[in-house]
Amino acid sequence: MWNYNIPVRIFQGENIIFEKKELLNNFGKTALVVTGRNSAKLSGALDDLLKIFNEYKIEFCIFDEVEENPSYETIERGANLFDEFDFDFVVAIGGGSPLDAGKAIAALGTYFQRNADLFEKGDDIYKNTIPIIAIPTTSGSGSEITPYAILTNRENIKKGISSNRLFPVISFLDPKYTLTMNESLTVSTGLDALTHSVEGELKNNGKNPIIKSLSYKSNQLIKDNLTNVNEKLSDIDFRRALQDASIMAGIVISHFGTTIIHSAGYPLSSFKKAKHGIANSVFFADVLKRIAETDRNRVLNAISPFSSLQELESFMYDLNIDKYKFDLTDNEIERWSEDLVNSQKRKKTPGNFDINFYKSLYNKIRK
């Protein structure tokens, strides 16, 4: 038994937003545009959007304060704008952080209680969420196609919210908006897509054939393209390939979620400023090896077309993943390892893990 549910209209291509501009005129006359500090402008995406808004006389307000790993305070500040304006839709432009923030702001801003807690269970909170349109400027988080928003709570812990209402209604994928990413951002976001694709397929284990195909194709695109990155930064075909991989891997996690690999990485982003994709990648090979001890075929299926764990490891090695080391205290390692033992994702990750294994993961990346 399997299901497939992705209620997102995807339009891909150079200058796609101009080709499909009339779609932006369908949601109402007042938009909230959610972005980070610079990249929406730097990539050209914001300018393109505003040209269309001006043409259709769509009023807009720009909230450009989203930081990496967006905090709950930022979501609340964005949501407070709904007290002044009657927004019809949200356009989120940027990497995973502004896209996730745009989703959460669209939900909290339309809920009758502004001080509600989005992390509380229940879909009721999302029932008035206005349409969200996504314009990604990175290729990796997959937020442009997932029903998730990953936020940082008041205790500085990264936590996800999820609802069918958080799927963007439309994603405009223009690879030219990703040309301004430098080498390290390109690598970290590309590896985020690879971890999504593999982690989701580890759970699927071939049962859902659509997801299996998407995972395979996404792995292949990353394997074939995420090499000698510095030489390809301005190559639009390279950018398109990574954007395609991000979307496919995003569909994979929309169905199966991530694993303990993502959970282990969250504190590195929250407390050690690690880029999200790097925070996952430093644990990737070791967790896969551990799972392979009990179910080798499951791992080989999930990483294909990498033909072996050694091949995947040397791919990661060429991207210098083994060079990332962090200042970690004994207390942090103890606390984060305990959190992993108790995490929901542990129960959903195939394989045998205990606290000593988690400690060994953190010790290995210690400076």
User: What residues line the site for Fe ion (CB under 5 A)?
Assistant: 192
- Cα–Cα dist 301/215, whole Å: 10
Q: Does 226 bind ligand NAP (CB under 6 A)?
A: no
Q: Binds 69, which of ligand NAP, Fe ion, none (CB < 5 to 8 A, cut-off by type)? A: ligand NAP
Buried b (16+ CB within 10 A) or exposed e, 258-287: bbbbbbbbbbbbbeeebbbbbbbbbbbbbb
Q: Does 281 bind ligand NAP (CB under 6 A)?
A: no
Nearer to ligand NAP, 61 or 309 (CB): 61
Q: How far is the CB of 253 from ligand NAP (least distance, A)?
A: 6
Query: Are the beta carbons of 17 and 135 closer than 8 angstroms?
Result: yes
Task: Pick the piece of the chain touching ligand NAP (CB under 6 A) from 33-41, 219-227, 322-330, 342-350.
Answer: 33-41
Restricted to residues 161-220, the positions that interact with ligand NAP (CB under 6 A) are 177-178, 180-181, 185, 189, 192
Q: Does 280 bind ligand NAP (CB under 6 A)?
A: no
Binding mask 92-131 for ligand NAP (x = CB under 6 A): --xxxxx-x-------------------------------
Query: Are the beta carbons of 98 and 92 closer than 8 angstroms?
Result: yes
CA angle 362, 280, 239 (to 5 degrees): 150
Restricted to residues 131-150, the positions that interact with ligand NAP (CB under 6 A) are 137-138, 140-143, 146, 148-150
Nearer to Fe ion, 129 or 141 (CB): 141
Q: Does 36 bind ligand NAP (CB under 6 A)?
A: yes
Q: Binds 149, which of Fe ion, ligand NAP, none (CB < 5 to 8 A, cut-off by type)? A: ligand NAP
Nearer to Fe ion, 208 or 281 (CB): 281
Q: Binds 199, which of Fe ion, ligand NAP, none (CB < 5 to 8 A, cut-off by type)? A: none
CA atoms within 13 A on the CB side of 223: 18
Q: Does 156 bind ligand NAP (CB under 6 A)?
A: no
Query: Are the beta carbons of 18 and 76 closer than 8 angstroms?
Result: no
Q: Binds 78, which of ligand NAP, Fe ion, none (CB < 5 to 8 A, cut-off by type)? A: none
3-class secondary-structure state, position 9? strand
Q: How far is the CB of 279 from ligand NAP (least distance, A)?
A: 9
Question: Could you tell me where the beta strands, DSSP code E, fall in 28-119?
Answer: 30-36, 59-66, 89-94
Among 63, 96, 93, CA closest to 174: 93
Among 145, 146, 152, 105, CA closest to 129: 105
Q: How far is the CB of 158 from ligand NAP (least distance, A)?
A: 6
Q: How far is the CB of 193 from Fe ion (least distance, A)?
A: 8
Query: Are the beta carbons of 116 and 69 closer than 8 angstroms?
Result: no
Q: What is the largest CA-CA distance in the chain?
A: 60
Rg over alpha carbons for the chain, rounded to the nearest Å, is 20
Peptide bond between residue 7 and the one before it cis (omega within 30 degrees of 0): no
Question: Where does residue 309 rank: exposed (0-12), middle (13-18), buried (19+ CB within 10 A)?
Answer: middle
Q: Does 351 bind ligand NAP (CB under 6 A)?
A: no
In the complex, the residues that contact ligand NAP under the rule CB under 6 A are: 36-39, 42-43, 68-69, 94-98, 100, 137-138, 140-143, 146, 148-150, 158, 177-178, 180-181, 185, 189, 192, 276-277
